[in-house]
Amino acid sequence: MPAALRRVLLWMAVGVAALLLAGGCAGLRLRPEATPRPAPSPTASFAPVAQVSAPSTPTLPSVAEVVAKVAPSVVAIAAETQGVDIFLRPIRGVSTGTGVIFDPAGYIVTNDHVIADARRVLVTLSDERTFDAKVVGRDPLTDLAVLKIDAPEPLPALPFADPEAIQVGEWVIAIGNALGLPGQPTVTVGVVSALDRSTSVGDRVYNDLVQTDAAINEGNSGGPLVNLRGEVVGINTIVVREAQGIGFAVGNTTVVPVVKSIVAHGRVIWPWLGVGVDNVTPGKALELGLPVREGVLVQGVQRGGPAAKAGIQAGDVITAINGMPVPNVRKLQRILREDFKVGQQVTVTLHRGSQTLEKQVVLEEFPRPT
């Protein structure tokens, strides 16, 4: 990978593709779950649902009921690619994956790596009808893409769950075109194991990941991780080959603004602050002698970027933007993505030693890899 691209990826931390390397994933070799020919994936186990004995306690919806509700919105994707063999003869390849309809007009979100470099993309609905799909736009930085099919009638679409309402321990269901097999989608059940995970896979850096122990198998890439209300919690993306019970979905703090931007502009326009950041925790605050117990610690500042121009420095702790509290990186990402635009001036409140400062920052567009 060119050195310039590595430098750009390093500073993706904030601005709609904030690249925070979170703890908990270090030392694990991760790989995108779907490949042109799906590779073997580990199986994941989950705890059985406990029997509820107290008659006054409301029962959980059955998994079958939830699946029946969401399955019509889950689609199988086949992406045709063209390459050459070692003798330079043309060969045709097919990458399989999954997608989910999020708009009745036929808009589908999936993973970018499922359809990257495809000459033709086919989408098969739950009723087995197949359509040629148009690639509306891609965002390799977040590994998301939006497709569009022209069906003669409105299609069943799934809503996105409020990312602030997603809880660790919440039951979730992974649905997808596992193994690229024909027929109904594969269903696995688990819980949300952790939130706000970040990791890298090859040249890609993933942020805002929802960790789950619901088994994510090959071909599931781009499929939905849903809660028991039938809402999309995230888009299934990564499995850990070396461990059981660890899979990841891109969270809605990323998914929602990405699909909105692609539908509106055909690409993602990221507001960029130009800093590398990490969460402030009570332990980290004590260790580093920080003046606050929550916020966003600036670990580095991109030379010539918006934050550098405004005088923000490594070691500063950001606690608010335009008066909106920023208790963690996730909130900072969401505020930048959903509330501000490129070219807008924002007031960044930060702590530097014993001082509380306000810096005026003009947000710039996130620099695209070249």
Rg (CA), the chain: 21
Q: Where are the domains of the chain?
A: 20-34+161-265, 73-148, 271-365
Give me the tens of pLDDT residue by residue for the chain, a chain 370 residues long.
554 444 443 344 444 434 333 333 333 334 454 444 443 333 333 334 344 444 445 567 789 999 999 999 999 999 998 777 777 787 788 888 999 999 999 999 999 999 988 999 999 999 999 999 999 999 988 899 999 999 999 999 999 999 989 999 999 999 988 655 566 788 999 999 999 887 767 656 677 899 999 988 777 889 999 999 999 999 999 776 665 668 899 999 899 989 999 999 999 888 989 998 888 989 989 988 888 999 999 999 999 999 999 999 999 999 999 999 999 887 888 788 778 999 999 999 999 999 999 999 999 998 765 5
Rounded Cα gap, residues 220 and 25, in angstroms: 21
Active site residue 221: yes
For position 197, what pLDDT does the model report? 84
| Terminal Cα distance for the chain, rounded | 11
For position 223, what pLDDT does the model report? 95
The single residue of 112, 139, 143, 213 carrying the catalytic annotation is 143
Contact 186, 176 (CB under 8 A): yes
Cα angle 284, 31, 242 (rounded to 5 degrees) comes to: 80
Domain 271-365 class in CATH: mainly beta
Q: Express each pLDDT in 241-281 by its tens digit.
A: 665 668 899 999 899 989 999 999 999 888 989 998 888 98
CATH of domain 20-34+161-265: 2.40.10.10
Cα angle 204, 208, 209 (rounded to 5 degrees) comes to: 80
Across the chain, mean pLDDT equals 82
Rounded Cα gap, residues 167 and 161, in angstroms: 11
Looking at the chain, how many residues does it have? 370
The single residue of 196, 221, 316, 351 carrying the catalytic annotation is 221
Tell me the backbone φ, ψ of residue 165, rounded to 5 degrees.
-95, -10
| Pairing, β 144-148 against β 186-201 | unpaired
- Structure pTM? 0.67
Of 213, 100, 205, 206, nearest to 161 by C-alpha is 100
Q: Domain 73-148: what homologous superfamily?
A: Trypsin-like serine proteases (2.40.10.10)
The single residue of 113, 278, 316, 351 carrying the catalytic annotation is 113
Active site residue 265: no
Fold match flag (20-34+161-265 vs 73-148) = yes
Rounded Cα gap, residues 205 and 319, in angstroms: 25
